[in-house]
Amino acid sequence: MPRVEEDIKLDFKDVLFRPKRSSLKSRSEVDLKRTFTFRNSKQTYSGIPIMASNMDTVGTFEMAVVLSKHNLFTVIHKHYTLEEWKKFAANHPECLEHVAASSGSGQADFEKLTSILEAIPLIKYICLDVANGYSEHFVEFVKNVRARCPNHTIMAGNVVTGEMVEELILAGADIIKVGIGPGSVCTTRSKTGVGYPQLSAVIECADSAHGLKGHIISDGGCGCPGDVAKAFGAGADFVMLGGMFAGHDQCAGEIIEKNGEKIKLFYGMSSDTAMKKYVGGVAEYRASEGRTVEVPYKGDVENTIRDILGGLRSTCTYVGAAKLKELSRRTTFIRVTQQHNQIFS
């Protein structure tokens, strides 16, 4: 008989932060920088732990140049060639400590990743990304990469439950990507019925990871700066953004004029658009699990960064956290039935 778990799982939209008495005078006093030492690589990270997703529209070199200037991180998508990587590394060596190189679990992907890491020793982070992090094959793959790259910090995912977070950490990963189905251009939940509300996934996975001295990334589902704050409040060490970074100058793709409005295309990495671009179409045995949307052109990503960091600092002052590090300890979420007044929306 199928089992039904009765306790309610929550999304960002289901909660708000309860404000707390605070001695902070101004949001400018809030320190958003964090320092982590990773469990398996033993390497140290220092920065503002917000990252651009490894989607080919937002995980670009152009994005990395701007994000790293603000101490943010970019997971570079896996479709750049070795030559493009070499050029980027030569022109922007200062960015390399704030980027990861990505790979799927296929042989060709991994060979390309290895050649990039050999050519550019300053890259310290690897992101091993598959749609479904639950397969035994993926766990074996993580073990192999750990054996080949003992000193690199390995991100791996995606999963949404504590036991799989633990398994991937024990297999050698340092930072686990958490999120199945919350993404802005993801259709996994409607195509498969599989998923986990993101706030609860983060709370539960962070607990499992931290118990082993591992770390997690909350990946997907943030639609506004408040959601980024909620992900950190729930215990995420890093928060990864796709849609919120889409539509900017630093994103891949042309600005298109449509009915007098400027737009840019943004699409899921397993959408028809992405699969046509990279593998010549959607394979017959699988359905596309991503969609393509037109995003209003938003100009320079600097403005969006300021908006996100300003919101996050303000959250910290409302709950009395002088540092981002203290936010989850100072977090009490209240369940709500409404997020904001909709009268003008």
Active site residue 188: yes
Q: In this chain, which of 47, 133, 243, 247 binds ligand 5GP, going by CB under 6 A?
A: 243
Distance between CA atoms of residues 230 and 323, nearest Å: 15
Q: How many residues lie near ligand 5GP (CB under 6 A)?
A: 24
- Separation of first and last alpha carbons in the chain: 44
Q: Whole-number minimum distance, CB 290 to ligand 5GP, in Å?
A: 2
Classified as helix, coil or strand, 277 is helix
Q: Which of residues 106-165 bind ligand 5GP (CB under 6 A)?
A: 131, 158
Distance between CA atoms of residues 165 and 161, nearest Å: 6
Give the long-range contacts of residues 278-285, CB within 8 A, separation 24 or more: 278/79
Residue 128 · residue 173 · CB < 8 Å: yes
Angle between helices 107-119 and 82-91 (to 10 degrees): 30
Which residue is catalytic, options 60, 74, 153, 188?
A: 188
* By CB under 6 A, residue 221 contacts ligand 5GP: yes
In the complex with ligand 5GP, the residue whose CB is nearer, 208 or 288, is: 288
Cβ count within 10 A of residue 157: 28
Phi-psi bin for 100: left (phi > 0), alpha (psi -120 to 50), beta? beta
Q: Whole-number minimum distance, CB 109 to ligand 5GP, in Å?
A: 16
Helices (H), strands (E): how many in the chain? 10, 15
Q: In this chain, which of 57, 68, 188, 273 binds ligand 5GP, going by CB under 6 A?
A: 188
Which residue is catalytic, options 57, 74, 153, 186?
A: 186
Classified as helix, coil or strand, 102 is strand
Q: Whole-number minimum distance, CB 83 to ligand 5GP, in Å?
A: 26
In the complex with ligand 5GP, the residue whose CB is nearer, 40 or 184, is: 184
Q: Which of residues 1-60 bind ligand 5GP (CB under 6 A)?
A: 53, 55
Q: Which of residues 249-308 bind ligand 5GP (CB under 6 A)?
A: 268-271, 289-290
Active site residue 186: yes
Residues classed as catalytic = 186, 188
Binding interface with ligand 5GP (CB under 6 A): 53, 55, 131, 158, 179, 183-186, 188, 219-222, 240-243, 268-271, 289-290
